[in-house]
Amino acid sequence: MVEQHASHLDTVFHALGDATRRRMLRDLSGGERTVGQLAEPFAISLAAASKHIKVLEQAGMIRREVRGRTHLCRLDPGPLASAHQWLTAYERFWTDRLDALDRLLREEDAANAP
């Protein structure tokens, strides 16, 4: 179970590791888009856009529906929630560390006050 979850997170973070795919996800957060609409901001071919979309599909972050000759994509936020949950542990770690640093600096300031 743990290995399967780690493998899924690897796939999610790989998909998120590319700026083009992150922008596609952001665009999809506003509603479904065609492959052409997703490709448009990047001036890339439909084939290149389709490769990015396949990576996002493999990570489970988007669903593609074919309507005639049109391929519509929509966001599936579930895998993003898994990534967020994993990152939350590190957020707590850094918050605790920064709080400790803040306390230390305040104590130092108080000790050095005239």
Cα–Cα distance, 17 to 2 (Å, whole number): 22
| Amino acid letter, residue 13 | F
The CATH number assigned to the domain holding 21 equals 1.10.10.10
Could you read off the pLDDT of 62-113 as tens digits, one per residue?
999 999 999 999 999 999 888 898 888 888 888 989 999 999 999 998 888 8
Structural domain range at position 10: 2-112
Element (H, E) at 63: strand 62-67
First to last CA, the chain: 59
Q: What pairing do the DSSP bridges indicate for beta strands 70-75 and 62-67?
A: antiparallel
Number of domains in the chain: 1
Could you read off the pLDDT of 14-42 as tens digits, one per residue?
999 999 999 999 999 999 999 999 999 99
